[in-house]
């Protein structure tokens, strides 16, 4: 008995996709590996906008039939759009708050600079009281 021939990655991928159970076994026997693979698209479970660094890693990808992937993507787009709207409004609020804070700081600084000193009550500061109670000029 000889050694078995090398099994290509396409054949291994097609057999793995067959194990998902989306395509009947009898139909798969009539297809090539490339035909089996062409029925699927790879879905990223974590949205790109949520985690731009890890969205193309193997642990984030799941094979889905093309039709099911299109349906899921259609529903995901609305969720992604809402997240973007919320983040945009949040940024706008932060910018407006920072502008208000800066304006308040400028106003407070100008008030401190132009603040009047507390006026004295008008006592004659040239007079001085001695220990015996008499008042004399300085």
Handedness of CA 25, 26, 29, 31 (dihedral sign): negative
Between CA 28 and CA 25 the distance in angstroms is 5
DSSP tally for the chain: helices H, then strands E: 4, 4
Does pTM top 0.95 for this prediction? no
Predicted local distance difference test score (pLDDT) of residue 48 = 66
Between CA 97 and CA 99 the distance in angstroms is 5
Predicted local distance difference test score (pLDDT) of residue 91 = 94
Question: Which parts of the chain register pLDDT below 50?
Answer: none
């Amino acid at each position: 008995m000889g050694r078995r021939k090398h099994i290509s990655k396409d054949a291994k991928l097609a057999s793995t996709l067959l194990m998902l159970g989306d395509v009947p076994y009898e139909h798969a026997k009539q297809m090539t590996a490339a035909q089996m693979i062409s029925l699927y698209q790879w879905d990223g479970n974590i949205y790109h906008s949520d985690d731009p660094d890890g969205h193309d890693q193997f642990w984030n990808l799941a094979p889905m039939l093309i039709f099911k992937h299109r349906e899921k993507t259609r529903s995901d787009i609305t969720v992604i759009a809402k997240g973007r709207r919320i983040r945009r409004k949040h940024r706008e609020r932060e910018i407006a708050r920072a502008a208000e804070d800066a304006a308040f700081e400028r106003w407070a600084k100008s008030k401190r600079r132009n603040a009047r000193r507390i006026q004295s009550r008008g006592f004659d500061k040239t007079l001085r009281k001695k220990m015996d109670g008499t008042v004399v000029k300085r």
